[in-house]
Amino acid sequence: MDVSAYPAELRPFLTDAAFYDSSCSPEARVTYVDKDNGYFLKSTPKGALERENVLTRYFYGKGLSANVLSYISGERDWLLTEKIGGDDCAASKYLEQPVRLCDTLAELLRTLHGADYKDCPVLDHTERYLADAERNFQANRFDRGLFPDDWGYASAGEAHRVIEARGHLLKTDTLLHGDYCLPNVILDNWRFSGFIDLGNGGVGDRHVDLFWAIWTFVFNLKTDKYSERFIDAYGRADVDEERLRIVAAVEMFG
Per-domain residue ranges for the chain? 8-82, 87-251
How are strands ordered across the β-sheet holding 87-88? 87-88, 185-188, 191-195
pLDDT tens for each residue of 142-152: 987 776 566 77
**Cut 0.85: pTM above it:** yes
8 A C-beta contact, residue 170 and residue 204: yes
Q: Does the structure show a pLDDT above 60 at 252?
A: yes
87-251 folds as Aminoglycoside 3'-phosphotransferase; Chain: A, domain 2 (3.90.1200)
Helix, strand or coil, per DSSP, at residue 75:
coil
Cα separation of the two ends of the chain: 36
Distance, in Å, from the CA atom of 130 to the CA atom of 121, rounded to the nearest integer, reads 19
pLDDT of residue 149: 61
Active site residue 188: no
Residue in 179, 197, 205, 209 annotated catalytic: 179
8-82 folds as Phosphorylase Kinase; domain 1 (3.30.200)
pLDDT tens for each residue of 127-146: 999 999 999 999 999 987 77
Distance, in Å, from the CA atom of 43 to the CA atom of 98, rounded to the nearest integer, reads 33
Among 47, 20, 57, 28, smallest CA distance to 195 is for 57
